[in-house]
Amino acid sequence: MFSIVTGIALLFAALLPVTDGGASCSFRLGFAALAQLIPGQVGFCLDDERNDPTTGDDIQHTSNGLLVWRKADNVSAFTNGQWTWLLGPDGLAQRPNNQRFSWEQNPQHLALAAPSGPLLPGHRIVAYYGNPLVPAMGVLGEGSPDQMLARLQQQAAAYAAADPKTPVQPALELIVTVAQGSAGPDGMYRARMAPALVDQVLGWANSKGYLLILDVQIGRSSVADELQPLLPYLQRPNVELALDPEFAMHGDDVPGQTYGSIDAAIINQAIQSLGSLVADHHLPPKVLIVHRFRQDMVSDSGAIRPSPQVQVVMDMDGFGSQQEKLASYNSYIRDQPVQFAGIKLFYQQDHPIFTPQQAIGLTPTPFVVIYQ
């Protein structure tokens, strides 16, 4: 069933066809609904809707791409050649052209796109964390990309087997802003990764239908300043955000010499920024992950305010024995709930590492599990 918002758009659009103001063509019905919902993407019509006798589909060219009503599944869609927007069962959805949603016909067996609605709690995210430039930073940088992706798929499958009722959404968590022990040219004690690296890891994620999570270690910079160059990526429906308070410095502090912290007010500003992206670009709700393994890393956590546009995960970070990790999880996750729970597990430093069955058996159950 269409969402209420989409239904209103269909009704309104059917009554008021959209044109460029001078052309004799117009949009109708589902095409008009898409043009009303995403006018900046669709643009204006170049011709009227017509039937393609070879496929049975209805098509219409626009200034920015092509509108298609697919006879096979009765879905109206718009594509700009790289991305497709569809009127799906939950309303407007967006995906790359080389992927398909689980509810779409998929005769070519393309990679599955991330769900178009809220991810949590209907799914469990299982992620690999790190940076390909520095293998020591996490499993994301270990081995070849094919080896790493195959290993992640195996790990995700283990969670699907442990909890068959919760679909698993694999993800790659790239440390995109890396804290530094030296000031750097601008004195911010952080290094921003080149767009080429982000594009490379995003390509790996897209090839498998995985999420990309951009992890930010701000050094002496600010969350707002570090989000700015990431906005083009965060406008994509399969890209999420993570904040790492451990490396958020204050005053003359230097990353690696002391632990940092982030206040709830700063986290709320990030929530507002992500929420604006969701509203402006008609995206599914974003996921914001906040890593934590000390009480002082997140101040006033009870004041964090998730929104309908942004789902907040407090992730228990840090390595150690199962007893130590359980104590931290109880202190920072169970006893100080925000919205959704997460946990980070370390292949090398956790002794022994939680099994998937043990991890999902925690209270509250984590809907995000990150491996480093």
pLDDT tens string 140-164? 999 999 999 999 999 999 999 999 9
**Distance between CA atoms of residues 372 and 350, nearest Å:** 10
Of the ranges 4-8, 34-38, 49-53, the best mean pLDDT one? 49-53
Residue 6: the pLDDT is 38
For the chain, the structural domain boundaries read 4-111, 124-371
Which residues does 196 contact at the CB level (< 8 Å), separation at least 6? none
CA torsion angle 308 367 89 75 (round to 10): 110
Residue 23: the pLDDT is 60
Which residues does 199 contact at the CB level (< 8 Å), separation at least 6? none
Instruction: Flag whether pLDDT at 37 surpasses 90.
Output: no
Note the pLDDT tens digit of each residue in 335-370.
999 999 999 999 999 999 999 999 999 999 999 999
Q: Are 326 and 332 in contact (CB under 8 A)?
A: no
Note the pLDDT tens digit of each residue in 251-275.
999 999 999 999 999 999 999 999 9
Q: Are 45 and 39 in contact (CB under 8 A)?
A: no
Q: What is the CA radius of gyration of the chain?
A: 22
List the end-to-end C-alpha distance of the chain, in Å, as a whole number.
40
Work out whether the CA dihedral 166, 170, 171, 172 comes out positive or negative: positive
**Distance between CA atoms of residues 287 and 44, nearest Å:** 33
Residue 142: the pLDDT is 94
| pLDDT band, very low/low/confident/very high, at 209 (cuts 50, 70, 90) | confident
User: β-strands 83-88, 75-79: how paired?
Assistant: antiparallel
Looking at domain 124-371, does it have CATH number 3.20.20?
Answer: yes
pTM of the model: 0.80
Q: Are 190 and 249 in contact (CB under 8 A)?
A: no
Q: Are 42 and 64 in contact (CB under 8 A)?
A: yes
Of the listed ranges 36-45, 48-57, 110-119, 198-207, the one predicted with least confidence: 110-119
Helix and strand numbers, DSSP H then E, in the chain = 10, 19
Nearest partner of 236 among 267, 213, 263, judged by Cα: 213
Nearest partner of 117 among 243, 6, 228, judged by Cα: 6
Q: Average model confidence (pLDDT) for the chain?
A: 90
Which residues does 13 contact at the CB level (< 8 Å), separation at least 6? 27, 29, 32, 33, 35, 36
Distance of CA 303 to the CA centre of its chain: 23
The DSSP output letter for 193 is P
Instruction: Flag whether pLDDT at 7 surpasses 90.
Output: no
Work out whether the CA dihedral 289, 293, 296, 300 comes out positive or negative: positive
215 beta partners: 175, 242
287 token code pair: 């996921």
- Mean pLDDT in residue range 306-327: 95
Which residues does 186 contact at the CB level (< 8 Å), separation at least 6? none
DSSP string, 86-114: EEETTEEEEEETTEE-TTS--TT-PEEPP
- The SS3 call for residue 69 is strand
